[in-house]
Amino acid sequence: MGRAPCCAKVGLNRGRWTAQEDETLTKYIQTHGEGSWRDLPKNAGLLRCGKSCRLRWINYLRSDLKRGNISEEEEQLIIKLHGLLGNRWSLIAGRMQGRTDNEIKNFWNTHLSRKLADRGINPVTHKPFCCNFSLQPKKDSKPELNSSIESSTSSRAYKKSQRNMKKQSTVMTGTCKRKKPWTEKGALMKKMDPMEKLSSRISDQSSCKPSSEMNPDEDKLKSQAQKLQCCSREG
């Protein structure tokens, strides 16, 4: 059957959100509440698809989000929860106050998986790497070069995919040749507007509730993890 993507409509904005769009969305949700994402853009006067609005709200505009760096405690909690739940980012985010699944997913992919790999721990299984580990190619990574791809080897996308493949192999094998240690550099690198920086600092200083105060229900999580394992994609 195949359903057309919700963003397929011609004339809808895509890509980065403008401050104006953010404001419009925030005001609308503050007035009308979340939900009815499909109708929201139309009602709010936004040239976006509902999906995009939902994502923007959940990942960026919600007032209960922390905007600062992920603390060491949060990091440990993520590792712990990932060990129990696997890549169920929304479930993990549900146990992390003020963090979104997207944020945790990004943090995992860019920091934690490497960190574990550097420690000789398989980030997927959370067990030490075995000696005869064989590198599996990425699920849908580019196959061997054909002429059309070859002709575009200079393209940005191609270069990037090559880089990513290389990057992944270093993660998987734990043989990263990075010159600098993995750091909190991201915070410096991230483009932040002044308001963002300010709110980041504020949330770091005041509203950052230690994750140790949270009390994840381990039994519940474990049973959930078992249940989820049954339908694990890895089969």
Query: What is the contact surface with DNA in residues (CB under 7 A)?
Result: 1-3, 5, 7, 13-17, 35-38, 50-52, 54-56, 59-60, 87-91, 101-103, 105-107, 109-111, 138-140, 156-157, 159-161, 163-164, 166-167, 176-180, 182-191, 231, 233
- Shortest distance, position 213 Cβ to DNA, whole Å: 23
- Shortest distance, position 9 Cβ to DNA, whole Å: 10
Query: Nearer Cβ to DNA, position 73 or 118?
Result: 118
Q: How far apart are CA 231 and CA 227, in angstroms?
A: 7
Q: How far apart are CA 151 and CA 33, in angstroms?
A: 50
- Shortest distance, position 212 Cβ to DNA, whole Å: 22
Q: Is the dihedral of CA 43, 47, 53, 59 positive or negative?
A: negative
H or E, element range at 155? none
CA 98, distance to chain mean position in Å, is 14
Q: How far apart are CA 225 and CA 126, in angstroms?
A: 14
Strand ranges (E), the chain: none
Query: Nearer Cβ to DNA, position 109 or 122?
Result: 109
Query: Nearer Cβ to DNA, position 62 or 132?
Result: 62
H or E, element range at 122? none
Query: Nearer Cβ to DNA, position 132 or 156?
Result: 156
- Shortest distance, position 196 Cβ to DNA, whole Å: 9
CA 64, distance to chain mean position in Å, is 18
- Shortest distance, position 6 Cβ to DNA, whole Å: 7
Query: Nearer Cβ to DNA, position 20 or 132?
Result: 20
Q: How far apart are CA 104 and CA 96, in angstroms?
A: 9
